[in-house]
């Protein structure tokens, strides 16, 4: 097939997948919210990540205090590029995933609603107007609620793709006890958690380069967030990450 035709086919497939996802989000969150003007928000080219790696590593730390200043699209773009940007022509990402499942979806919880990151389009798909940032905390306080919470969701359907099942069938045929179906299931679950961990560290490093505060977080009820995000039974919330500008003074916190 000539290159041009092949590229057109890939473009059409990406477009089709995006449309299917948009329809799915509309169904999940209801037509009223989806009917808003801004259904998809493209993000600018990622920038601000030029710091040498040694410096970014030296500055990497957890900070739990945030100003309530909204995160700019520029910063959001850089963070999401670090977490799950496309860095190769074949669609592979800035962070690794087991068997290239690409099973982790990232939702951004912001004061203006719930958004879902679409790497293929470098932008955010609007899901709902609800501000659910506080649902990502056990004890939310005005002092600690950041302007942006990233939520890492695993879609188990992608870990059971045809290619993955075929690889498992071959492995099982080898009849090695360490590759029983229980072991494979355990591996699958470990892999998903590791794939999220890689993204969390990448965002920590990007936050360090961008000079903003960031904290990985598990202390919340995944069930509550799964309900608020209207996830399917085969989707699971694994972790969250709170992000915001550092407060300039104590008064910066008071709303």
Ligand X SMILES: Cc1cc2nc3c(=O)[nH]c(=O)nc-3n(C[C@H](O)[C@H](O)[C@H](O)COP(=O)(O)O)c2cc1C
Chain positions contacting ligand X, by CB under 6 A: 61-62, 64, 215-219
The minimum distance between CB 174 and ligand X, in angstroms, equals: 34
21/98 with CB nearer ligand X: 98
80/205 with CB nearer ligand X: 205
159/215 with CB nearer ligand X: 215
| Cα–Cα distance for residue pair 158/196, rounded to 1 Å | 14
Burial of 28 (0-12, 13-18, 19+ CB in 10 A): middle
33/135 with CB nearer ligand X: 135
Q: Give the count of beta carbons closer than 10 Å to the beta carbon of residue 118.
A: 23
| Cα–Cα distance for residue pair 115/182, rounded to 1 Å | 35
The minimum distance between CB 140 and ligand X, in angstroms, equals: 12
| Cα–Cα distance for residue pair 77/45, rounded to 1 Å | 7
Burial of 224 (0-12, 13-18, 19+ CB in 10 A): middle
The minimum distance between CB 145 and ligand X, in angstroms, equals: 13
């Amino acid at each position: 097939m000539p290159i041009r035709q092949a590229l057109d086919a890939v473009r059409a497939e990406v477009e089709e997948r995006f449309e299917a996802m948009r329809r799915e989000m509309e169904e999940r969150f209801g037509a009223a919210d989806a009917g808003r003007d801004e259904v998809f928000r493209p993000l600018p080219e990622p920038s601000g990540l030029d710091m040498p790696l040694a410096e970014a590593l030296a500055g990497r730390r957890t900070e739990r205090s945030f100003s309530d200043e909204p995160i700019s699209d520029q910063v959001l773009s850089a963070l999401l590029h670090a977490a799950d940007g496309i860095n190769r022509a074949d669609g592979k990402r800035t962070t690794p995933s087991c068997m290239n499942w690409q099973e982790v979806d990232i939702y951004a919880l912001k004061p203006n609603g719930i958004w879902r990151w679409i790497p293929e389009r470098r932008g955010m798909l609007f899901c709902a107007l609800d501000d659910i940032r506080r649902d990502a905390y056990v004890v939310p306080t005005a002092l600690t609620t950041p302007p942006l919470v990233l939520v890492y969701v695993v879609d188990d359907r992608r870990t059971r793709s045809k290619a993955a099942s075929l690889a498992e069938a071959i492995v099982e045929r080898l009849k090695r006890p360490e590759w029983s179906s229980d072991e494979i299931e355990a591996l699958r679950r470990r892999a998903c958690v590791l794939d999220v961990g890689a993204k969390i560290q990448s965002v920590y490093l990007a936050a360090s380069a961008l000079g903003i505060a960031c904290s990985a977080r598990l202390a919340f009820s995944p069930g509550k967030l799964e309900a608020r995000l209207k996830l399917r039974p085969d989707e699971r919330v694994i972790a969250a990450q709170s992000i915001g500008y550092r407060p300039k003074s104590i008064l910066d916190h008071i709303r």
